[in-house]
Structure 1
Amino acid sequence: MGQKAAFNLHLQSNNRNVASELSTLFARVRKGDFKYRHYCSLSRLVIQKAPDVDIWNAVLNLIVTVSRSTTLVSKHHSFDGTPMRSVSSTQKGPEQTRRLVEARIFKEIRPCTFRSVAGFFTKYFQGRDWSGCAEVICQRVLDASDGKWAKFPDPPVQDKMLDWWLRFQDNLLSEARNVYFTTTTKNDLSGLDAERQVDLLLQSKDEGGSSEKHAWNDVQVVGELKQSEQEIMAKSTLLQIGCYVRDVFSAQPTRCFVHAFTVRGTKMEAWVFDRSVLYSSGILDIY
């Protein structure tokens, strides 16, 4: 299975498959071109018998890291983190129209998008240091005496869902270290030439999360609310999320990965974008 995957996974920068890149790494190691720090993360994951998605992510990051260590690279990065100038990073100011940017982002993410990855929910939602608190909140939501929170707006139109979400946060997440906010105009987010109006953004309370104006370099998570389950799975929705994530990466050049999600009523899809790949949970029923 691993060998088959290595031949089927391709890097966007040169269209070489992972198997070819690994053979190049092997040849370099035999010549003595080896730095342990490059291989440390992958070795540790293999020893720990980590999920396949984590190991393949480490393999792709290893290929990128070793390539960067010997190649002069641009300061611009594409989603796959390859040592090349991102085709979408050339779009600035007035030129940055939605259709053009989305078309270019689609070209970037098309070969490195993995949906409904096995083990996603276990890795990101189980056994975390906050799992106990989440369980307590969940039980309160489902408690018959306080059942108002278990009832989503029907139909889940955006304004009503946003109102429900922010009231839920005020009542049940007041002790959380991060806070969700929404943008009401395209001027609510600063830090980049692009103008975006995003449904939900998460940032630290210490970074001005309670103010009306926000900056891309403080954004931690991006989310979109949809009115149909079909919209969650739509290509247009993924490209919309991709635009937001690209802006987070642009504003935070040292950022390694970004979490994102789409929600329709009780159904959601969670995403992780990094500079190598993007992968999702598939559709989850959160009720």
Structure 2
Amino acid sequence: MGNQPQSKIIEDNPIGNGLDAFRASFNSICEGASISCTPDALDQLGQEDLQNLVLVLVSTLQILPASRLLRSNSGRTLFSELSRLNTAITSDDFNLDRIQPLLRSALASKPDDTLIWKLVYDAVTESTPPPRLTASSLQQTPWLRNTSSFANSSEHRKYVDGVLKEELGPMYVGLPNFHDTYFGGVADLQTASQAFFEQCLEGNDPRFEGGWKGWPKDANQEDVLSWFADFSEKLAAFADVHKSIPTHRHRRRPLAKPNKPIDGSVGKRKLDVGFVNDPQAGKDSRCHWSQILVPGELKSNPSADKASEAWLDLGRYAREVLAAQDTRRFVLGFTICGSLMRVWVFDRLGGVASDQFNINDDGLQFVSTVLGFLWMNEEELGFDPTIMSANQERFIEVNRNGSTERIIIDQVMQRARCIAGRATTCWKAHPERQPEVLLVVKDSWQYPERDEEGDLLREATNRGVVNQYSAWSGYQESCELPPGAPNAAEQYRIWRIKGRAQQYQHQQEAVI
């Protein structure tokens, strides 16, 4: 740490308020445990809370610019070393006490940047395993039980829920700047939302006056569903008039059918409310999970806004959406418990959510959220932009031998039915204008340090193995914040989702 280049990097890239998100998470955990929010509280936290806190700190540190510039003794960036530390933290034999000095330093009222980065170096040096000798020394697929392992006969809710809880792990809520991050790029959203809300305030019988007109006082599910569907339809009609690309061009409408199973799931699954890609969808329409763009969960009791109730229910819906839509990278959704709303994102690391807000107190936020769901484009909703469509064909473009080739996707062969994990998908495919050449395209999420599969495929290709066709999309999703993001560190979880999940990188291969 003492040489000039590292000192200069730290000086030129101050942490500033880059740890605010970590401190906010610490305060939230302490308040939940009813203990004082001081560094001494670390000694009173349970192992699970402490582990979660360390994971948040590691994620936050990775977003800081200095983490990509500073290098460890191994030559890797601290960003890479922190990814390894992240994996080590979740193991049973990791001693969290080793990170206590770093935690206390990060929580100090006047943090010392040099000390913090020194303690980061100490943490990653102590936890980094020796380099592997052979490609087989590290398993490509971690031993993780998730819901993709179920046989069809085990898809009953009572079997799924327990494993789904384990798969999702801790779900983080109350993330700052969530709405700006996911809805901030939707063109004209703020202007149109403001215009609609102002209309709701006008007249002798305004639609909004100290709350929404007609909102069921007891938040009865059936009444709320009816109210929500009517509200969404009125908002969609208004939006069609005020949008250069009308809502119907996006082919979506609200759907409310809590008592009718949605087609396409192995076990019977019902959805309270959501948005579908069918402009003709009505109360009696039959829908498939492949049509659900934004799932929602309604609860009449505000106290149901917790992991064991509304959050898990929405996670169950997100699993069905990801399973049915083979190009979906993540799923946006929402919960409304009483009149308290959250917006959610489920990706291959689990689920995170916005702050809770009362739709009858913050009417404009509610309008902006619903209109955002109606106006978002497919990429903003979580669809993979590298899988394209033209002339009623789906295809990907890959680089092979220095040139770009187009591979036509024929059909899905296999897709893992899970939320968190590698989520491997295989398609039957063929090279463009060569339908007689059968290929299998594999798409999966991969730990950065578990790169043996790709190395083996490349080696086989380079050695001219017969019946081997390997090409790489050249696509690895970058972890970029949207334009105008006020503070990178405040979006440590959003950053994780907007790019491919931080522990994974995108891998596409085409092989016979």
Q: Name which structure has the greater RCO, CA cutoff 8 Å, separation 6+.
A: 1
- Partner Cα distance (1:256, 1:156) in 2: 33
Equivalences for residues 152-191 of structure 1 within 5 A: 152-174=215-237, 175=240, 176-177=247-248, 178-187=252-261, 189-191=262-264
Question: How many angstroms does 1:261 deviate by?
Answer: 0.7
- 1:1-287 aligned at under 5 Å gives the runs 1=19, 5=55, 19-21=82-84, 87-111=146-170, 113-126=171-184, 128-129=186-187, 130-148=189-207, 150-151=212-213, 152-174=215-237, 175=240, 176-177=247-248, 178-187=252-261, 189-205=262-278, 209-210=281-282, 212-286=285-359, 287=362
Closer, same or farther in 2 for the Cα pair 1:223/1:20, shift >3 Å?
closer
Q: Secondary structure at the match of 2:356?
A: strand
Residue 259 of structure 1 contacts residue 271 of structure 1 at CA under 8 Å; is this kept in 2?
yes
In 2, Cα distance between equivalents of 1:266 and 1:23: 37
Q: Call closer, same or farther: CA 1:164–1:126 in 2, change over 3 Å.
A: same
Instruction: Identify which range, 216-225 or 134-143, moves more after superposition.
Output: 134-143
Question: What is the Cα deviation at residue 115 of structure 1?
Answer: 1.4
Change in Cα spacing, 1:6 to 1:168, as seen in structure 2 (3 Å) is closer
Q: Is the 8 A contact 1:92 1:194 kept in 2?
A: no
Normalised to the residue count of structure 2, the TM-score between the two structures is: 0.39
- Percent identity over the alignment is 25
Supply the distance in 1 between the matched residues of 2:204 and 2:340 (Cα, whole angstroms).
Answer: 24
Deviations 1:246-278 (A, max 9, x none): 111111122111011111343201111111242
| In 2, Cα distance between equivalents of 1:240 and 1:205 | 23
* CA distance 1:5–1:197, shift in 2 (3 Å): closer
Q: CA deviation at 1:166?
A: 1.5
Change (3 A) 1:100 1:23: closer
Write the distance in 1 (CA, Å) between the matches of 2:266 and 2:320.
10
How many angstroms apart in 1 are the aligned matches of 2:270 and 2:86?
A: 45
Structure 1 residue 140: deviation in Å?
A: 2.1
The 1:18/1:258 distance shift into structure 2, 3 A limit, reads farther
Q: What is the deviation of 1:7?
A: 6.8
Deviations 1:92-149 (A, max 9, x none): 44422212211101101114x2211122122134463122222222222233434246
Give 2:304's aligned amino acid: E
Change over 3 Å in CA distance of 1:22–1:190 after alignment to 2: same
Structure 2 CA distance for partners of 1:253 and 1:153, relative to 1, 3 Å: same
Q: Answer whether contact 2:345 2:351 (CA < 8 A) is retained.
A: yes
For the structure 1 residues 83 and 219, does the alpha-carbon distance in structure 2 shift closer, same or farther, using more than 3 Å as the test?
farther
Deviation at 1:153, TM superposition (A): 1.0
Q: Is the 8 A contact 1:7 1:19 kept in 2?
A: no
Gaps of 5+ in 1: 10-16, 25-69, 75-81
Q: Distance in 2 between matches of 1:23 and 1:185?
A: 42
Larger displacement relative to structure 2 (87-96 or 157-166): 87-96
Distance 2:56 2:235 in 1: 45
Which is further off, 128-137 or 221-230?
A: 128-137
Alpha-carbon deviation of 1:234? 4.3
Richer in helix (by share): 1
Partner amino acid, structure 2, of 1:171: K
Task: Confirm or deny: 8 A CA contact 1:96 1:194 kept in the other structure.
Answer: yes
Determine helix, strand or coil for the equivalent of 1:116.
strand
Distance 1:200 1:8 in 2: 36
Count of matched residue positions in the alignment of Structure 1 and Structure 2? 225
Distance 1:258 1:226, change over 3 A: same
Once the two structures are superposed, what CA deviation does each residue of 1:154-206 show, in whole Å capped at 9, x if it has no partner? 1110111111112222333223332110225444x212212111111211235
